[in-house]
Amino acid sequence: MSSRQKEQNGRRQSLLSRYLLIIMGALLFIPVGIPLTFAGYNLFSISAADKPPEEYELYSNISVLEKQWHQEALELSGQTAEAVDRRLKELSGSYPLAAVFWVDSQGQTRFIHSPDDPQLQEQLGTDRIPAQWNAPEAIAFMKEAAMRQPLAIVAFVGDRADAGEGFMVMQIPAEITEAYRFQSLGSWYILFLLIFFGLFAAASWLFFTRIRKRLLRLQTAMSFTGGAGIPQPIEPGKADEIGRLEEAFNYMVAELSASRRREAEEEGLRKQLVANLSHDLRTPLTVIRSHLHVLGKEEMSQRGRESIALMDERMEGLSGLIDNLLSFNLLSSGRMTLKAERKDVLRIVRESAAAWYPLWEKEGFEVEIELEEEPVYRNVDESWFRRILDNLFQNIVRHAGSGRYVGVRSEIRDGTAVIIISDRGKGMDSTSEASGAGLGLSIVGLLLQPMGLAWETDSSPEGTSVILYLPQERNLNKI
């Protein structure tokens, strides 16, 4: 199929084209739809009914009969009563099923002709025509002539009311007029019109319902995602605007899936690289530190011993960095399992601070520890929680040594127990000689989250405070 044919096919299936057809149908419903239904109903009713007798055809067009009757009246202007009688007798022969009579200027009924059929005679009621007319009777008769049953066509002789020559009448039986009467206001026509309107309303409702159904299907596909957090593709529908939207959605899903696969592959390669690198660095680092220890026992100058001590310190920092890198890799990949138990977290803090106290004292730190005597029990993994504290204390020694201060205290904030670890360093925005990749704090965040704990930092050039929140303990089965 060529691009031009595809474009034409797309226009035919366009929602806009179909919507415009509905709008045009709504605009043309009254000026076109109603007349069409009117004509269709009458054609149907006439074709469905028995065809009128052939002799009724002469009386089918009342407008033509009325025009001819007035023409005859005009031609009888100034004629004698006998001449009028003769002419009406001739006309009655042409219209044998109608009653013909006339009233002269004296109000006397003249020539009366009625059909031979007794049933038609009864419908016409010629026996009830008065022999002498007065003015009010004549006026009332002519006023109601068009609406009388039987139908009466009335014309003044001479076709002028002021001629003073009387008037002549042709009466057509109701049986004939009813055979050709349109029943446009009948109950069947109203039902036919309602059916036509119902079809139009049903087509409009079906059009918008299908659009809504397809949009809801697309919304559902966007809202419900799989385990990877990516929606599932949907089956494209018609080649209209919504169909193109569905194709674009499927393309987006395919791109997201491919991107997620690439990210997973890259993440797997990164974790494998970090694990291999950490393992490969440990062995030479251990050998180097062992040889530095041997060199430290040899006779050398003071400057040489200082160099060896500095190298050993840097090696120890590198070893800690490798440990953090390996821990971060294990945590981010989910390969470290949580073993939560009910523990007194303040006791763990005291023990950890006591283990670090000799180093703080050696480095000349001022230490303030203010922990509540009342135990605070929480469901935590003790080894993970100790690792959190070690990382925070180590950061103070490495990056806030200029402040020479360590503060560890506990308090209650908004009904929640918190532990605050503070220093008087230059703040987290400053740089230090021991600045690293920030893995220590990243590991703190990764370790706290699975235990249901939270944390925040408050840092300024006057120091940094790390606040550990200890919400109420959760059920072990939920961890």
pLDDT tens sequence across 161-178: 788 888 899 888 877 777
pTM: 0.40
Where in the chain are the domains? 3-50+184-221, 56-179, 252-336, 338-478
Torsion angles phi and psi, residue 396, rounded to 5: -65, -45
User: CATH says 338-478 is which class?
Assistant: alpha beta
56-179 topology per CATH: Beta-Lactamase (3.30.450)
Neighbours of 476 (CB within 10 A): 10
**DSSP codes joined into one string, 151-192:** EEEEEETTS-GGG-S-EEEEEE-HHHHHHT---TTSHHHHHH
pLDDT at 188: 60
What is the spatial distance between Cα 156 and Cα 159, in angstroms, rounded to a whole number?
5
CB 274 within 8 A of CB 247: no
Amino acid letter, residue 310: L
Do the strands 99-103 and 109-113 form a parallel or antiparallel pair, or are they unpaired? antiparallel
H helices then E strands: how many in the chain? 14, 11
Radius of gyration, CA atoms only, the chain: 55
pLDDT at 367: 92
The CA dihedral of 300, 303, 307, 312, to the nearest 10 degrees, is 60
Paired residues of 379 in beta bridges:
342
Model confidence over 438-476: pLDDT tens digits?
A: 566 777 777 787 788 888 988 888 899 999 998 875 443
pLDDT at 322: 65
pLDDT at 476: 37
What is the spatial distance between Cα 473 and Cα 217, in angstroms, rounded to a whole number?
42
What is the spatial distance between Cα 462 and Cα 315, in angstroms, rounded to a whole number?
30
What is the spatial distance between Cα 29 and Cα 35, in angstroms, rounded to a whole number?
9
The verdict on domain 252-336 having CATH code 3.40.50.2000 is no
Long-range own/partner contacts, residues 267-270 (CB < 8 A, 24 or more apart): none
**Do 56-179 and 252-336 have matching folds?**
no
Q: Which residues of the chain, if any, have pLDDT below 50?
A: 1-3, 5-8, 10, 48-49, 183-185, 437, 474-479
pLDDT at 146: 61
**DSSP codes joined into one string, 353-386:** HHHHHHHHHHTT-EEEEE--SS--EEEE-HHHHH
CB 189 within 8 A of CB 38: yes
pLDDT at 421: 93
pLDDT at 230: 77
Write out 227-283 in H/E/C secondary structure. Answer: CCCCECCCCCCCCCHHHHHHHHHHHHHHHHHHHHHHHHHHHHHHHHHHHHHHHHHHH
pLDDT at 409: 94
